[in-house]
């Protein structure tokens, strides 16, 4: 690296950092105007962030530039949050209407149905999605197998939690059957036709 290229990289980095900070400020402005029309701030903020990512990648290369950009994005976000921080006094509030869980009829058939949905059907659906990840992700075979294997228990747990919290058994059944059919279809149908 020559002295001129280092100076150019520093100038581009400063411009990229300022552009990134402007993008964060625009996104914060959009957040504060939630109910009003502020799409220009939203679009402009993301365009500024994307432009700063490109500028930093140009200045330092793709790997270092992306790392620097994400670091600067985090610092700029923290700075905007710290600048707009406000301390509110804690007032003792009494809740007039508390939200209680929905009263649902329970019987042994509903309990068995929920257990079967949560354990069996959520497991089948999560295995289907894990197999799709292990077969079709654009990664080396070892990485696909590990990622597919790690996805299964996480998705199974999420499916179990959602199924047990959902008051409508038919909705949970339809969604889990659709995910299972889609997962196994995407995983194995292309091989059946080849």
- The torsion angles phi and psi of 175, rounded to 5 degrees, stand at -65, -45
pLDDT reported for residue 59: 84
At 156, list the tokens. 């199974």
Confidence at residue 94, expressed as pLDDT on a 0 to 100 scale: 52
pLDDT at 6: 78
- Domain hosting 44: range is 3-83
Residue 183 lies in a domain: yes
Of 125, 126, 123, 147, the closest CA to residue 135 belongs to: 147
Residue 162: inside a domain: yes
pLDDT of residue 37: 66
* Per-residue pLDDT at 116: 86
> What is the model's pLDDT at position 100?
52
Angle (nearest 5°) at CA 114 between 109 and 118:
150
In this prediction, residue 192 carries a pLDDT of 63
Extract the residue ranges of the chain whose pLDDT is less than 50.
none
pLDDT of 85 reads 74
Please report whether residue 170 resides in a domain.
yes
Q: Nearest CA to 127 among 188, 38, 68?
A: 188
Quick check: is 132 in a domain? yes
């Amino acid at each position: 690296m020559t002295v001129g290229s280092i100076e150019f990289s520093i100038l581009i980095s400063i411009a990229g950092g300022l552009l990134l900070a402007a993008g964060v400020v625009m996104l914060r402005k959009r957040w504060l105007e939630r109910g009003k029309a502020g799409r220009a701030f939203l679009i402009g903020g993301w365009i500024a962030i994307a432009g700063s990512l490109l500028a930093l990648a140009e200045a330092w290369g793709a790997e270092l530039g992306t790392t620097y950009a994400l670091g600067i994005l985090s610092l700029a976000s923290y700075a905007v949050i710290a600048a707009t921080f406000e301390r509110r006094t804690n007032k003792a509030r009494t809740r007039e209407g508390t939200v209680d869980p929905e009263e649902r009829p329970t019987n042994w058939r509903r309990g068995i149905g929920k257990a079967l949905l949560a354990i069996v059907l959520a497991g089948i659906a999560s295995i289907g999605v894990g197999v799709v990840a292990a077969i079709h992700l654009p990664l080396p075979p070892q990485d696909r197998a590990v990622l597919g294997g790690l996805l299964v228990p996480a998705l199974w747990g999420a499916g179990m939690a959602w199924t047990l919290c959902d008051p409508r058994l038919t909705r949970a059944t339809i969604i889990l059957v659709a995910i299972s059919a889609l997962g196994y279809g995407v995983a194995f149908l292309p091989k059946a036709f080849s």
